[in-house]
Amino acid sequence: MAAFSDHFGPGAAAYAAARPGYPPALFDLLARRAPGRALAVDCGAGSGQASLGLAGRFARVVAVEPSAGQIARARRHPALRWVRAAAEALPLADGVADLLAAAQAAHWFEPRRFHAEVRRVLRPGGLVALWCYGRPTVSPEVDRVLGRYYHEVVGPFWPPERRHVETAYRELPFPYRPLAAPALAMEARWDCARMRTYLASWSASARYRAHHGSDPLREVGEALAEAWGGGLRTVRWPLNLRLGRVAAC
């Protein structure tokens, strides 16, 4: 496997513990739109946040992830097979998949090679689904602290690929017949400690720690706790989905 920038492997425990799950409605939609339910492929699967949802709706799911650290923390399911590989070099035969998905991952891929693999691995009429989610919102007071952390504290440490999340994947190449995608959102009930773990899992947080040798959350910890006010709060993320279909022969 070719070398890649492993932004999340060193913090895989925090990633697995704190990354939010996706709404069941998303996976129901993908299962309906796919030409079949025999095989789904999850590229850049992380520790399985999307893979598990797909495994409940497709007979087989191949979760493809290049980070050994992520796979070590991966979620398991009888229908799910984990493979350590890059999305640009999928270890799958031609024309075998009904769905190829990438959840909060497509901005890390090299577009030309990735889309060549999409077209190779999907069956004619197969479904492509790329999605990402933006910054969380909680309340005006909490959001101000989160905004400071995002822009000022770790802002200089975001990898350049992050811009595609900011633009809701609209600027990513998408060489497929587009399909209409509904508005979806993710929600969770978290306490402040869970939010801190989530913030620690950001790629920019990891790069800050590597650069400074210290925890970036120390700069906003007290303000976040005060704004949060204790107990559980509803956290919401906008979910940006691009759907397309490969051409049938």
Q: Per-residue pLDDT tens for 125-181?
A: 999 999 999 899 999 999 999 999 999 999 999 999 999 999 999 999 999 999 999
CA distances from 21 to 116, 189, 237 (A): 29, 11, 11
SS3 135: coil
- Contacts for 223 with CB less than 8 Å, ≥ 6 apart: 145, 148
Does residue 151 sit in helix, strand or coil?
helix
The pTM assigned to this predicted structure is 0.87
pLDDT greater than 70 at residue 15: no
List of domains in the chain: 9-245 (3.40.50.150)
pLDDT tens sequence across 169-190: 999 999 999 999 999 999 999 9
In 3-142, the DSSP E strands lie at 39-43, 60-64, 80-83, 97-103, 122-133
Is the pLDDT at 8 greater than 80? The verdict is no
Continuous segment of H or E residues that includes residue 242: strand 233-245
pLDDT of residue 73: 86
From 58, 54, 61, 46, select the one nearest 26 (Cα to Cα).
Answer: 54
Q: Above 90 in pLDDT, residue 34?
A: yes
Closest by CA position to 65, among listed 39, 96, 91: 91
Pick the closest to residue 102 from 160, 90, 125, 94 (CA basis).
Answer: 90
Give the count of beta carbons closer than 10 Å to the beta carbon of residue 233.
Answer: 18
Local confidence band at 2 (pLDDT 50, 70, 90 cut-offs): very low
Confidence of residue 13 (pLDDT cuts 50, 70, 90): low
- Decide: 70 and 9 in contact? Cβ < 8 Å: yes
